[in-house]
Amino acid sequence: EDSTAATAEHPMVLSLAHSLGDTHPTSKAIKEFAEQVQEDSGGRLTVEIFGSGVLGSETEVIEQVMAGVLDMTRVASPGLGSYEEGFLTFGLPYVFEDEEHFYAAMDSPQMREFFGSTQKAGFVGLTYYTSGARSFYTRGTPVRQPQDLNGLKIRVQDFRSQIELMEALGGTPVVMAFGDVYTALQTGIIDGAESNETALTNSNHGEVAKEFSYTRHTMIPDMLVISTDTWQRLTDADREVADEGGARLDAGPQGGLAHRHRGVDSRWQGDGRHLCRGCRPRRLPQRNPAAGGPVLARASAGGADPAHHRFGPGIGGCRGDGIDPRQDGDDDGARLVGGLPADRHGVSRAVSGVHAVRAR
């Protein structure tokens, strides 16, 4: 049945699953989203949340959403890359110049159009969440430049794009479950990992990692997606409610989540004591060519197999570093890390979202 039949007495219940613990900031934001939707719909739509991964891993849950078993889920965006390649774009290093650029791009009409364009894949993007930029943290070696990663075993998320990224940077990627990272760091099975600051605090990795280097190499948003099935059963007004419920929370500096996250983020940056017990935060200049430049140079020059590790035209983030891959003069460069072709429909849409803001 569609949402026209829903009333405050017999509301349409939308199930939403995610894998985060109760205390995670995004988990709280999702709760606010649920309240917002209920309020805006006058109680005709309610959102039932299944947190802490009780219904399965992110991959399982997104499959359940696409099968119409669940209505909504929050997943890390590269996890959507198997179904819509455009989402792999967000896993690339330095696609976003800085946080301003990130928020401007993610809130742009072009990006919104991209989020709405994935109906065929079985889901529609409602909004994004961010926990800040990802940086390297290690047991002892500060990462000031890509060469510092040489010979270090770094845990990466199990996405092919992230493995290739690490190889391109010169480190040795190690795939393991996030839950094993603490022990692996403690015992030296790995030398480091990369994540945002919550890994040090919420997950206590700060107890065993002694260096946090603000490389800010990726800013990977999480996506809140709704099943195409469910989306089509919502009336236009209810779609607006669901969309706005999400949008209001991340809409720019004056409201909601993005702002709050940015606040949290800057507190972390401003005060190393919040990071961890005994961990030294290395503050690298965000656009330091020594940090960003060579990283991109390696990434775009392409590690082991140059043809497969290129930044395509239009994907930048390297402006001002003097290493613009667009000037590479090599037409073969139209592939991204992760074997991702830059000319596919979804990718070009995502890229146009990133790029449109840059052009302003």
Q: Closer to other proteins at the Cβ: 125 or 173? A: 173
Span near other proteins by CB under 8 A; candidates 36-44, 167-175, 304-312, 341-349: 167-175
C-alpha–C-alpha distance, residues 265 and 268, integer Å: 5
C-alpha–C-alpha distance, residues 28 and 21, integer Å: 9
What is the enclosing helix (H) or strand (E) of 226?
Answer: strand 222-227
Total chain residues near other proteins (CB under 8 A): 37
The alpha carbon of residue 274 and the mean position of all alpha carbons in its chain are separated, in whole angstroms, by: 23
C-alpha–C-alpha distance, residues 88 and 342, integer Å: 10
Q: Going residue by residue from 85 to 124, which x/- string records binding to other proteins, judged by CB under 8 A?
A: ----------------------------------------
Interface with other proteins, residue 34, by CB under 8 A? no
Span near other proteins by CB under 8 A; candidates 37-45, 154-162, 245-253, 344-352: 154-162
> Which stretches of the chain are DSSP H helices?
25-40, 58-66, 99-106, 109-116, 160-169, 181-187, 198-201, 228-233, 236-250, 256-270, 289-301, 345-359
Residue 327, Cβ density class (10 Å: 0-12 exposed, 13-18 middle, ≥19 buried): exposed
Interface with other proteins, residue 344, by CB under 8 A? no
Choosing from 132, 142, 173, 317, the residue that interacts with other proteins (CB under 8 A) is 173
Which residue has 């800057």 as its token pair? 266
Choosing from 179, 254, 327, 360, the residue that interacts with other proteins (CB under 8 A) is 179
Interface with other proteins, residue 328, by CB under 8 A? no
C-alpha–C-alpha distance, residues 173 and 157, integer Å: 9
Interface with other proteins, residue 46, by CB under 8 A? no
Closest approach of Cβ 181 to other proteins, in Å? Answer: 11
Q: Going residue by residue from 50 to 89, which x/- string records binding to other proteins, judged by CB under 8 A?
A: x-xxxxxx-xx--xx--xxx---------x--xx------
Q: Which residues bind other proteins (CB under 8 A)?
A: 15, 50, 52-57, 59-60, 63-64, 67-69, 79, 82-83, 153, 158-160, 163, 172-177, 179-180, 183-184, 186-189
